Structure 1
Amino acid sequence: MKKKRKINVFDTSLRDGEQVPGCKLNTNQKVEIAKKLEDLGVDVIEAGFPISSPGDFKSVQEISKSVSKTIVCALSRAVEKDIEVAGKSLKFAKNPRIHTGIGTSNWHILYKFNSTPEKIIDIAIKSVKLAKRFVEDVEFYAEDAGRTDNYFLAKVCENVIKYGATVINIPDTTGFCLPDEYGRKIRFLKENVNGIHKVSLSTHCHNDLGLATANSLYGIINGAKQVECTINGIGERAGNTSLEEIVMIFKQKKYLNLYTNVNTKLISPISNLVSKHTGMMVPANKAIVGFNAFSHSSGIHQDGIIKKKETYESINPKDVGINNSSIILTARSGRAALNYRYKKMGYNLTKNSLDLVYSIFLKHADKKKEIKNEELKIILKKANLN
């Protein structure tokens, strides 16, 4: 049997996730989330971008003091001052990492930096060499790798490996790639970069086309060892790879032989915590953690769920920290769901009684989005059954 492969989970909710307009976390909130991320079992917490503000510097410092097992990572640009400040912010970290890098696509080289490929490689080398003075664990990001020529990207990777990078991040910064395209990029690097066995390749995918999780999955299948993601998929623009989605894919699709150290039963609680502190509401239809993820309102689905949950649920809600799936009574609900709810409330209806109640129920349900227990009692009274 093929040996299972461990995938490291790099959570950037406190850095990339916080880069959403209106989503500002204070230091205490960041520390609270960081502790929960450690409990969750993530391997790396990207705690912030220390040069960006005194508050972010303090947050990285306090998280470094509060986390004991998980790697604490600080972001920097490939700028001397950035890297020095990142290094200082990690002074108290038991397992520190500096995450530094620069744009490598023609869009970035020509228009953002007004530079040349040769100069970009030189800056990349210098940034890794400087970061190594502060920490042993240095992750290099090739920003906009998704739109970077593969041969030039391979050259950048070879050079930063020579000077001590331990992880190389291949971001699809603009959510540009298709899954097969991104997977082939990772595979190309695995097969064409000298010294690639010395480092871990990391995925960092954005969701502009709704493909962040799929792209990360294909990157991992093709050899990446680390996935960068956020709780609830929060992040720049349309967001990042969703931690809960990628982790549950590994858990459900056992034939992939991939696993993480994440305790999935803690997913729902930390999803709620991040939503509360960031003010970013989780969409009801969000996979895994949305309110509707384990809710059923169609009569056909409800009948199947009542008979056997697996008919319409491939994931056990308890696996992600949700006690039970929900039967939501609407105008689309059938007699089976209505009878099921009444039994839960302590009422056992005969077939004739159920037929009478159901006809009254439908009249109520056509006027409302959902029928709750109190209204079900009123319906019983109308049917002279209470």
Structure 2
Amino acid sequence: MSTIITQPAQVRIFDTTLRDGEQSPGCSMSPQQKLVMARALAELGVDVIETGFPASSQSDREAASLIARELRDTTLCVLSRCLPNDIEISARALEGTAKPRLHLFVSTSPLHREHKLRMSKQQVLDLAATSVAHARRFVDDVEFSTEDGTRTEEDFLAEVIGAAIAAGATTINVPDTLGYTTPAEIRGLFERLIGGVPGARDVVFSTHCHNDLGMAVANSLAAVEGGARQVECAVNGIGERAGNCALEEIAMALKVRGAYFNADTRLDTRRLVSTSQLLQRLVGMPVQRNKAIVGLNAFAHESGIHQHGMLRHRGTYEIMNPQDVGWPDSQMVLGRHSGRAAVEQRLRALGYLLEESELELVFADFKALCEKQRVVNDADLQTLMQDGADSEGYRLSSMTISDAGHRARATVELSDPDGDRLFETAEGDGPVDALFAALAMATGVDLKLESYQVHSVGLGRDARGEANLSVRHEGVEYDGTGTSKDIIEASALAWLDVANRLLRARSKAKTKSTSEMAVA
């Protein structure tokens, strides 16, 4: 008996980071920024890039033109309302595009028809058909979207889609505009539409799910099960309100569970992390640490039980290889929940082979250090092996911040590695700027910050301020954390944490160089 093996269905990735994603409050991009992002999306392997909404702004028209001049192998799409003037503006914005697509949309749900459009069913039906036909005068590739499609009467939805197909639409998008549907509902909807609408088998059906109930990725996957062969999504899931289906999540769900879905994309998933980080820098919206695929903790393990399993076999606690999405490796984060096995493994990697009694003492010091800081890195372990984490580096003795007219003034007192007292005063544009300037003068370390974040840890009277700094020096990234009841003091402690790590790295490099010269 022979087994029929079917090839996985190819699912197109339609990226709307530059259009719907940019509509996320605070995430607007200049035309040049959009070009930078579009390059990354093309390198990632995105099939269709929606570059903007030309009728809404001159900036979107400039962005469409810039991107069209450079990207020649990717389908470039612009959004347009079903209005003759909008369609013509959008068509002009696509001039010179190697692979142009015009994306039309009209609301179809009862709520939108009554309160937004103030149109009857027949008026919406006629508008859809005439608009698609009008768009086909300019481009061959026309996508038609039924806004709020999942809250539209199914018989009317099928009628509108049929009219759009008859008028020349090549892609039909049924959006879950409000993130309202469920996986079972949307899977069944796509199955019935594709199976029952005349001409449906001759076009590509697309899904565009929002995340208002946290189901955008699940609903998109269900739509694929129902026959959708295009998924509209955005990097990091940015977009209106709670955002869109996250590109990186849909891509890896189809990759990791390919046998289940019998579908895949043509994305180079090894670029997911770099693309995510680029968007974060462009719009200034970081993702949470525990964000799937691209969050800093996505492949990080601190629990002793998990670390022990990972040391035995990666598959015990990971279903993906970090390299497959662009991370260099998994992270065995050493912290309060780590066990002896993970600490011993990291010490071995650093060149320390300890007897059981020695490991017991170091592990006790490690646990004590974990009560002072959340994460213990390699430099901290090396310091522990050199008799104590507090034996090296600058320590904050006191600090004062005052208002110097239009500028702030900070005075710091430090103890240096030799125990001597240092005093410095500096001014800055604000208290933190002045503080960091004074610390730089006192230590002789000039840090160029890549990121600086402060937040509260804990609740009520027990809450503390935590500051996190990140700097890059000679290609190496250094991170520091400081915790205090006072957020300015926490910032000072974080700055010194970074400075001390950098100084220890310099000292280690100098010692190694001197040793190599002596051997030579």
Place the TM-score, normalised by the shorter chain, in its bin: over 0.9
Alignment map for 1:131-280 (pairs within 5 Å): 131-255=135-259, 256-280=261-285
Matched, 1:85 2:82: no
Letter in 2 for 1:310: G
Q: 1:191-243 CA distances to partner (integer Å, 9 max, x unpaired)?
A: 21011012111000000011000000000111011000111111111110111
Match of 2:39 in 1: 35
Asked whether the 8 Å contact 1:40–1:263 carries over to 2, the reply is: yes
- 3-state SS of the aligned residue for 1:261? coil
Match of 1:323 in 2: 328
Match of 1:344 in 2: 349
Match of 1:314 in 2: 319
Match of 1:290 in 2: 295
Match of 2:119 among 115, 118, 124: 115
- Over 4 Å off, 4+ runs: none
Unaligned runs of 5+ residues in structure 2 are 392-520
Match of 2:371 in 1: 366
- 3-state SS of the aligned residue for 1:197? helix
Asked whether the 8 Å contact 1:47–1:60 carries over to 2, the reply is: yes
The alpha carbon displacement at 1:383 in A equals 7.1
Letter in 1 for 2:75: I
- Give the Cα separation in 1 of the matches to 2:138 and 2:69: 17
The alpha carbon displacement at 1:379 in A equals 2.2
Q: 1:14-38 CA distances to partner (integer Å, 9 max, x unpaired)?
A: 0011001111211111111111111
Letter in 1 for 2:380: E
- Give the Cα separation in 1 of the matches to 2:72 and 2:44: 13
Structure with more strand by fraction = 2
Q: 1:161-193 CA distances to partner (integer Å, 9 max, x unpaired)?
A: 000000011100000001111111111101210
The alpha carbon displacement at 1:293 in A equals 0.2
Alignment map for 1:58-77 (pairs within 5 Å): 58-77=62-81
- 3-state SS of the aligned residue for 2:137? helix
- 3-state SS of the aligned residue for 1:276? helix
Match of 1:48 among 45, 52, 58: 52
Instruction: Report the TM-score when normalising by structure 1.
Output: 0.98
The alpha carbon displacement at 1:347 in A equals 1.2
- 3-state SS of the aligned residue for 1:18? helix
- Give the Cα separation in 2 of the matches to 1:99 and 1:276: 28
- Give the Cα separation in 1 of the matches to 2:191 and 2:368: 59
Asked whether the 8 Å contact 1:140–1:168 carries over to 2, the reply is: yes
The alpha carbon displacement at 1:377 in A equals 2.6
- Give the Cα separation in 1 of the matches to 2:69 and 2:235: 22
Asked whether the 8 Å contact 1:356–1:383 carries over to 2, the reply is: no
Asked whether the 8 Å contact 1:176–1:209 carries over to 2, the reply is: yes
- Give the Cα separation in 1 of the matches to 2:246 and 2:18: 14
Match of 2:359 in 1: 354
Match of 1:26 in 2: 30
- 3-state SS of the aligned residue for 1:340? helix
Matched, 1:376 2:381: yes
- 3-state SS of the aligned residue for 1:356? helix
- Give the Cα separation in 2 of the matches to 1:245 and 1:350: 44
- Give the Cα separation in 2 of the matches to 1:275 and 1:135: 34
Structure with more helix by fraction = 1
Match of 1:304 in 2: 309
- Give the Cα separation in 2 of the matches to 1:382 and 1:95: 65
- Give the Cα separation in 1 of the matches to 2:289 and 2:182: 26
Letter in 1 for 2:262: N
The alpha carbon displacement at 1:3 in A equals 2.3
- Give the Cα separation in 2 of the matches to 1:17 and 1:326: 30
Match of 2:452 in 1: none
Asked whether the 8 Å contact 1:101–1:127 carries over to 2, the reply is: no
Match of 2:101 in 1: 97
- Give the Cα separation in 2 of the matches to 1:357 and 1:383: 10
Match of 2:443 in 1: none
- 3-state SS of the aligned residue for 2:242? coil
Select between 374-383 and 268-277 the one with higher mean Cα deviation: 374-383
Letter in 1 for 2:110: N
Select between 367-376 and 84-93 the one with higher mean Cα deviation: 367-376
- Give the Cα separation in 2 of the matches to 1:181 and 1:155: 19
The alpha carbon displacement at 1:374 in A equals 2.6
Task: Give the 3 Å change call, closer, same or farther, for CA 158–376 of structure 1 in structure 2.
Answer: same
- 3-state SS of the aligned residue for 1:169? strand
- 3-state SS of the aligned residue for 1:134? coil
> What is the root-mean-square deviation in Å for CA atoms of aligned residues?
1.3
- Give the Cα separation in 2 of the matches to 1:171 and 1:86: 21
Letter in 2 for 1:300: I
> Greater CA radius of gyration, 1 or 2?
2
